[in-house]
Structure 1
Amino acid sequence: MAESKKGDVASRAKQRFRELQKRNEDDEEEVGIRDFSSLPLKADHAQRPLWVCPDGAVFLEASSSLYAAAYDFLVAVAEPVARPEHVHQYKLTPHSLYAAVAVGITPASICDVLDKLSKVKLPEDVKKYILQCTKNFGRAKLVLRDNRHHVESGDAAALRELLAHRPIRNCRDELPEDGDRFEVGTAQQEIQANRAYLDIDIDGDSSEEEEKVSENINALRTYSFRLKQGTAQDVKKYASQDLDFPLAEEYDFRRDPSTATLPIDLRPSTKIRNYQEKSLSKMFGNGRARSGIIVLPCGAGKTLTAIVAASTVKRSVLVLCTNATAVSQWKAQFALWTTLPASRVSLFTAEVKEDLHPECGVLITTYHMVTFSGKRSVRGEELIKQVREREWGLMLLDEVHVVPAQMFRKVLSSCNAHCKLGLTATLVREDDLITDLNFLIGPKLYEANWMDLTHAGHLANVQCVEVWCPMTAAFYREYLRHGGAGLGNKESGIVVSGAGRTRRLLYVLNPTKFRACEYLVHFHEKRGDKVIVFSDDVFALLAYARALERPAIYGATKESERQAVLGSFRFNPLVNTVCLSKVGDVAIDLPEANVIVQVSSHFGSRRQEAQRLGRILRPKASAEGGGFNAFFYTLVSTDTTEMFYSTKRQQYLVDQGYTFKVVTDLPQPTLSALASEQDEIDLLNQVLNADALKEEAEEEKALAKAAKDDIAPRRTQVSLASMAGGDGVRYLEYGSTDAPKQKPKRHKLFRGRK
């Protein structure tokens, strides 16, 4: 009965909190603001950097002297909503609170520090929500130690509560004499860097509760029980779904003598930045390896962060990438930053299939190669069998946001990994699949602030510009005539028809946009800049490449040609512009590029906008006067649906603190390909007669080619002549050399047949 009352109280608190959130969202829609003016301010509110609102929203003043400490705490306990220049907005969610408790921050300390930093008293609804939401978070962990899974907790009562559930009790590997006894041990305390929030002091403000929290964190005694082989995932499922008792996964790699050690160390010249060190402290804060996700901007060194994690664990590493280009880049990065022998690194792609090191090594492959369910070549079958049978100490998942949750389940079920680390720059999708990652991989361990890294010089200072390009009369007439049918977004499942494709091509190939693109390319090439022209539409991409006389890379481009073009772009001073389709959105490393001209995009995809900006975020030499040293142009045809999509796409970058400058009067030079009105009419005819659907289908087919190329054995029907070397050779036989047209003699029985 007591447990039932507790459950009712928890459900009522959560329901009350949801009602407050809904009411404030409705108020915001009606009046455009949130009104919390009735909340009384503390006497010394000017010294405190936070506003904690009753609906769970938290606002941080970036000008406060306590900004750095408050930011480190907030990014650990709340989800960032918007981080413009002066005031940042965060939101408390179950996922963010789970992530906080997973890295050792107790629910009591979350409430205490929020109240200490807030200008107003911490609302009771928020406090109840935090305590009830995290009632079971962090109370127990699933620890891999001595190659066996254990359920571990600092509270023996938590283990008894779990064992009261029959399916979990059946998974316990116990001796008859064990009874209710548990293994007693010690665990390393959380490092001081992850407990810095306890040292925040405002005018000597401290409390007995804080000291109590500190004592609880410093407690080293642990209780645990061992699980039967192969039951760890079942126990995790039972605890989460049946008891609302999530178990964080940890790998005690220092106590895993059964797994071979990887001879990997960082080179003496390798240096990591403070934010990379901070993100790794969340992963290894208590001396074990936590599974989770690290979010760093493009160009901020996600690869190096993962390599440092691999050199810390020193066990076999499985690296999963999105394509073969990324596989090559990861191999180069391991060689650049570590002393790992080349013989220990293996590649497994459609074109390269290398043997795994017999004892311990690093395997770099793609998601498709691991999850492919069709028939493989004999060589591929041998390697995938080795991958599935090996125990991997660490699994690194690059660009975790781009792969649907269903494929992640295939990867996780195919490979035995003790610890999983996901890497991404944009933990957003236009569908709802992104939330599945919290339980498939682990909580978000760390997320960096883009603007802070820019101010520190770790990222390029980018000027974002939206160029408005009016539609010409002929193109706009056809745009209106084709109507708005068929526009949509592939990620959201909206089908795009042929009429919609034509309408889209009309505003992408707008002659005004053509001329604006040419002006920007020539202007920045004269400055010595390296320019990338992005277009999702392959038909439009090739049209721009022909008009600008610049090389283009898209899905159907051969890998050898692709590498040749990228190599020339990097090192040849005469090749300063390259045109890319959506294949350049991720996993193409072009640190020399500092200008992007975007003429076509994937509707309203915020993730794609951030990924493309990331192509030019690598640190650059400072501009004169400390100005911008990178430029991001988006060309938009006015009075079209492209303006709506452009605004939606920019929202993620605006939330990160970027501002977009609108330009309406860009010079319009005479483009050689559109020198006359007749040239514009010819271009319009090409657009109207283009098989846009076919072009798009070919691009998608080429992008999916990596999933099928050389995985299944190829069977080609050939003739016996071809096998004998006589392919293409034809013989004619004549009755005599001097009468080539004479018919051969036939037997009298067959003379009547034709």
Structure 2
Amino acid sequence: MSDGPLIVQSDKTILLEVDHEQATEARHAIAAFAELERAPEHMHSYRLTPLGLWNARAAGLDAEQVLDTLLKYSRFPVPHSLLLDIEETMSRYGRLWLEKDEQHGLVMRTNDYPVLEEVMHAKKIEPLLGPRIDANTVVVHNSERGQLKQLLLKVGWPAEDFAGYVDGQPHPIELDLTDWQLRPYQNLAVENFWAGGSGVVVLPCGAGKTLVGAAAMATSGTTTLILVTNTVSARQWKDELLKRTSLTEDEIGEYSGTVKEVRPVTIATYQVMTKKRGGLYPHLELLDENDWGLIIYDEVHLLPAPIFRMTADLQARRRLGLTATLVREDGREGEVFSLIGPKRYDAPWKDIEAQGYIAPADCVEVRVDLPRDERVAYAMAEDADKYRLCSTSETKTSVVERLVASHAGDQLLVIGQYIDQLDEIGGKLDAPVIKGETPVKERQRLFSAFRAGELHTLVVSKVANFSIDLPEASVAIQVSGSFGSRQEEAQRLGRLLRPKADGRSARFYTVVARDTLDQEYAARRQRFLAEQGYAYTIMDAKDIAAA
């Protein structure tokens, strides 16, 4: 028995003692295969899930390494039944695999005959399969490659995909390394992705995911389709590719609500791709007609349902997903795993911070009391209205004003969910508000003015959650969020993580109404960042002036 920081339990939960001297080391070790569930002050709770273990297996971690980690850091003996369960769960990955056969085309093979029998008799899987070739091999309809992988994951037998990819239309792309170079972790991310064929690279905001994409494109040397969250993001990708690669203006097309250009490198928004007309998705079909050699999914954790369907049809194309967190509140991480590919590279945020590539950050939860009339209104409100009522408390506006005053001269973002609340705060601060209805040109003008230091404060809605590059921002004040969304919290902190010229820490405030749903959802949102090693300091709004 050791004095380790972990308590490993037979119900597949792992408790981590936060104040233990080996806590950080242990957290990094288990992050590769366990998911954080709760993060109170002293004892964090993780859970082992099949998907987490299969992701670890796909990334090259075997059961022995997982078991060694648990045994090394566990304070008490690890339950023997759990050790067996982990070993058996991880062994399920790769007992089925897809590959190309010269005579029969796409086939599924196994080294365990009963497993193939089991999945072949599953009602939903049977129609996707062709004739049986021998005891361990069955033909798979080419068009069903993605759908089959999804269903195999659901029945607990995830298949490895060795069937390869079409080459796609060749198109030479080279990195222009005149005044920059890939960081070691970016190189490793590209190498791991390419060796695995398709999959997801997880890097903190500000750690250069776009450069990983550019390097993957240069390695591929083919036409590339890049899917992004919005038009501003599309134009940032274009600017970055023009600056970092041999690509010219004529080689990069934008495919958005306003522009429809299909070029060797085409950057399309998820929004335009998921527009329906007559029950069909015409833009999905148009882009599927092109012979892409690589498809990049920016912010892959946000994939809308029609893009999942499109991805099921694009299994013969090499696919790269980029994200700061694979967390999805709808639980569809399994679809990302089966249709884009497993996690190929994941760098802990604090590791990248320690190397000096992202800024350190202090997270502060500022708690406010609702005035009596608002407390009564909240108590009497319907459940559906409660969160909005406490999130948009008028008390928060005066708190934001005091926080902004205490950071005079800093580049500062105020971020929220509710437009009327943001409009009111923008008016009080005499700061522009960027929201869904703000035209793209106006957004770009305001972002440029902020980057240049001509504007010190911007008020932004959730349109700025993703893929917005504002390296100068050093302070963010969050006044409301999307309920308990962990990925939103990570993205909002990520706006601040570009290294500061003077080496300062970033400061991330969340203003929370005490004793309400707002406080409950804030705790949920913070879970992902707690897993990455960020601690939230709690302060009372009354103490701001003295802070």
Q: What TM-score range do you get, normalising by the shorter chain? A: 0.7 to 0.9
Secondary structure, in 3 states, of the residue corresponding to 2:143? coil
Q: Which residue pairs with 1:271 in the alignment?
A: 181
Superposition deviation, residue 634 in structure 1: 2.2
Letter in 2 for 1:292: G
1:244-643 mapped onto 2 (5 Å cutoff): 244-250=156-162, 252=164, 259-268=168-177, 269-284=179-194, 287-289=195-197, 291-356=198-263, 361-374=264-277, 385-404=285-304, 406-413=305-312, 415=314, 417-471=316-370, 476-477=372-373, 479-481=375-377, 483-488=379-384, 496=385, 503-504=389-390, 507-510=392-395, 513-525=396-408, 528-571=409-452, 573-623=453-503, 629-638=505-514, 641-643=517-519
Q: Could you tell me whether the CA contact under 8 Å between 2:378 and 2:390 is conserved in 1?
A: no
**Alignment equivalent of 1:127, drawn from 76, 83, 101:** 83
Superposition deviation, residue 629 in structure 1: 2.1
Secondary structure, in 3 states, of the residue corresponding to 2:168? coil
Q: Kindly tell me: are residues 230 and 560 of structure 1, through their superposed partners in 2, closer, same or farther at Cα, counting changes over 3 Å?
A: closer
For the residues of structure 2 that align with 1:586 and 1:579, how far apart are their CA atoms?
15
Deviations 1:550-584 (A, max 9, x none): 1111111122222211111111x342111112212
Q: Could you tell me whether the CA contact under 8 Å between 2:35 and 2:52 is conserved in 1?
A: yes
Q: Kindly tell me: are residues 76 and 517 of structure 1, through their superposed partners in 2, closer, same or farther at Cα, counting changes over 3 Å?
A: closer
Q: Kindly tell me: are residues 632 and 117 of structure 1, through their superposed partners in 2, closer, same or farther at Cα, counting changes over 3 Å?
A: closer
Q: Kindly tell me: are residues 230 and 148 of structure 1, through their superposed partners in 2, closer, same or farther at Cα, counting changes over 3 Å?
A: farther
Q: Could you tell me whether the CA contact under 8 Å between 2:99 and 2:161 is conserved in 1?
A: yes
Superposition deviation, residue 464 in structure 1: 1.9
Q: Could you tell me whether the CA contact under 8 Å between 1:83 and 1:657 is conserved in 2?
A: no
Superposition deviation, residue 392 in structure 1: 2.8
Secondary structure, in 3 states, of the residue corresponding to 1:597? strand
Letter in 2 for 1:368: Q
Corresponding position: 1:232 with 2:113: no
Superposition deviation, residue 668 in structure 1: 6.6
Superposition deviation, residue 117 in structure 1: 6.6
Q: Could you tell me whether the CA contact under 8 Å between 1:534 and 1:582 is conserved in 2?
A: yes
Secondary structure, in 3 states, of the residue corresponding to 1:602? coil
Corresponding position: 1:99 with 2:50: no
Secondary structure, in 3 states, of the residue corresponding to 1:392? coil
For the residues of structure 2 that align with 1:148 and 1:570, how far apart are their CA atoms?
57
For the residues of structure 2 that align with 1:93 and 1:103, how far apart are their CA atoms?
16
Q: Kindly tell me: are residues 323 and 251 of structure 1, through their superposed partners in 2, closer, same or farther at Cα, counting changes over 3 Å?
A: farther
Letter in 1 for 2:266: L
Corresponding position: 1:655 with 2:531: yes
Instruction: Compute the TM-score of the two structures, normalised by the length of structure 1.
Output: 0.62
Deviations 1:610-652 (A, max 9, x none): 22111111111344xxxx5211122334565534443343343
* Structure 1, 418-427 or 77-86: larger mean CA deviation: 77-86
Q: Could you tell me whether the CA contact under 8 Å between 1:77 and 1:100 is conserved in 2?
A: yes
For the residues of structure 2 that align with 1:644 and 1:237, how far apart are their CA atoms?
34
Letter in 1 for 2:242: A
Q: Kindly tell me: are residues 423 and 567 of structure 1, through their superposed partners in 2, closer, same or farther at Cα, counting changes over 3 Å?
A: same
Q: Which runs of 5+ in 1 are unaligned?
A: 1-40, 183-223, 489-495, 670-754
Q: Could you tell me whether the CA contact under 8 Å between 1:515 and 1:668 is conserved in 2?
A: no
Superposition deviation, residue 593 in structure 1: 0.7
For the residues of structure 2 that align with 1:87 and 1:305, how far apart are their CA atoms?
35
Q: Could you tell me whether the CA contact under 8 Å between 1:148 and 1:229 is conserved in 2?
A: no
For the residues of structure 2 that align with 1:141 and 1:532, how far apart are their CA atoms?
48
Deviations 1:673-707 (A, max 9, x none): xxxxxxxxxxxxxxxxxxxxxxxxxxxxxxxxxxx
Q: Which runs of 5+ in 2 are unaligned?
A: none
Corresponding position: 1:665 with 2:546: no
Secondary structure, in 3 states, of the residue corresponding to 1:396? strand
Q: Give the number of the structure whose alpha-carbon radius of gyration is greater.
A: 1
Q: State the percentage of identical aligned residues.
A: 32
Q: Could you tell me whether the CA contact under 8 Å between 1:530 and 1:593 is conserved in 2?
A: yes
Q: Kindly tell me: are residues 240 and 605 of structure 1, through their superposed partners in 2, closer, same or farther at Cα, counting changes over 3 Å?
A: closer
Secondary structure, in 3 states, of the residue corresponding to 2:268? strand
Pick 1 or 2: higher relative contact order, CA cutoff 8 A, min separation 6.
Answer: 2
Superposition deviation, residue 385 in structure 1: 4.4
Q: Kindly tell me: are residues 667 and 443 of structure 1, through their superposed partners in 2, closer, same or farther at Cα, counting changes over 3 Å?
A: closer
Superposition deviation, residue 539 in structure 1: 1.5
For the residues of structure 2 that align with 1:604 and 1:79, how far apart are their CA atoms?
16
For the residues of structure 2 that align with 1:598 and 1:147, how far apart are their CA atoms?
59
Q: Kindly tell me: are residues 393 and 66 of structure 1, through their superposed partners in 2, closer, same or farther at Cα, counting changes over 3 Å?
A: farther
How many aligned positions are there? 538
Superposition deviation, residue 530 in structure 1: 0.4
Q: Could you tell me whether the CA contact under 8 Å between 1:266 and 1:308 is conserved in 2?
A: yes
Secondary structure, in 3 states, of the residue corresponding to 1:76? coil
Q: Kindly tell me: are residues 77 and 353 of structure 1, through their superposed partners in 2, closer, same or farther at Cα, counting changes over 3 Å?
A: same
Q: Kindly tell me: are residues 138 and 543 of structure 1, through their superposed partners in 2, closer, same or farther at Cα, counting changes over 3 Å?
A: same
Q: Could you tell me whether the CA contact under 8 Å between 2:128 and 2:140 is conserved in 1?
A: no
Q: Kindly tell me: are residues 259 and 552 of structure 1, through their superposed partners in 2, closer, same or farther at Cα, counting changes over 3 Å?
A: closer
Q: Could you tell me whether the CA contact under 8 Å between 2:169 and 2:292 is conserved in 1?
A: no
Superposition deviation, residue 324 in structure 1: 1.0
